[in-house]
Structures are given as C-alpha cells and as structure tokens.
Amino acid sequence: MSIQLNQLFLETAEFYELKLLAGRNGLNRELTWVQFCEDIANANFFRGNELAITTGLCFNEKSWLKNFITELIRCHSCGLIINIGKYVHTDDITQDIIQLCDNKNFPLFTMPWKIHLADITQDYYNRLF
C-alpha cells in the first residue's frame, strides 16, 4: 500500500505543524512506509520510498545532517521530517542543505519537538493501511 507524499502533507501539515523547507518538486513521490532513523549506518534497512523521521540524536558535527540527507537520497527515501528543538535546531539546516534537497527534489520537513513521534507515525501507518 502507498500514499502520495503530497496528499499526506496537505492533510497533516497543520495538525503536526510540519513546515516544508525544500524539495517541493518531490512531493509527488509515493510513500510506502515511515521509518524512524537516527543513525545513517542503518540505511541498508531502507527499501525505497520510505519517509524518514529523525530527532537528530546523532547530530554531533555540522556535516552530520548533510551526510544523513545525502545517504537518504541515495537510498531512495521519499523525504525527511526533522523533529526540531532538542538535537537539531532550525539554524542547523543550512542553505547548502536546502539547495541539496531542492536540487534532488527531496522533500525536507521540520516538525517541532512538542509533537510526539508516536502520534505522527501511528497516524501515518493508519493512513497507509
């Protein structure tokens, strides 16, 4: 089963306070699963078309986020939601990262820390089924 990322974004952006920062041209991608990922070393578990969600727990150097996104693109993930506030902050998302996502049509979203990951993942799983 799948759902178009654009549809999911339109239906849930307000409720989960999602902000699309980059990759608008990739919103037509199909989403087949939602995968919570903190360590990009686990990228081999991606099959393609998953929406990744991260808190940025492993964010320990400036290059981490760009490398993380680059690997998600390589794995054919359909986009990334960054849970902003504790480990990654808005100013950590540089213009270089925005440009990478725009160039690769890779949707990059932010969501505030106050949103519970269990709520959004459960909602998205229910919509997929």
Q: What's the whole-model pTM score?
A: 0.95
Residue 2 reports pLDDT greater than 90: no
Q: What digits encode the pLDDT tens for the residues 47-104? A: 999 999 999 898 888 889 999 999 999 999 999 999 999 999 999 999 999 999 999 9
pLDDT at position 69 is: 95
> Do 51 and 34 contact (CB within 8 A), yes or no?
yes
Summarize the confidence of residues 8-34 as an average pLDDT: 97
pLDDT band at residue 40 under the 50/70/90 scheme: confident
Residue 23 reports pLDDT greater than 80: yes
Summarize the confidence of residues 4-20 as an average pLDDT: 97
Residue 1 reports pLDDT greater than 70: no
> Do 8 and 33 contact (CB within 8 A), yes or no?
no
Local structure of residue 64 (DSSP, 8 states):
H
Summarize the confidence of residues 95-121 as an average pLDDT: 97
Q: Is the dihedral of CA 22, 23, 27, 31 positive or negative?
A: negative
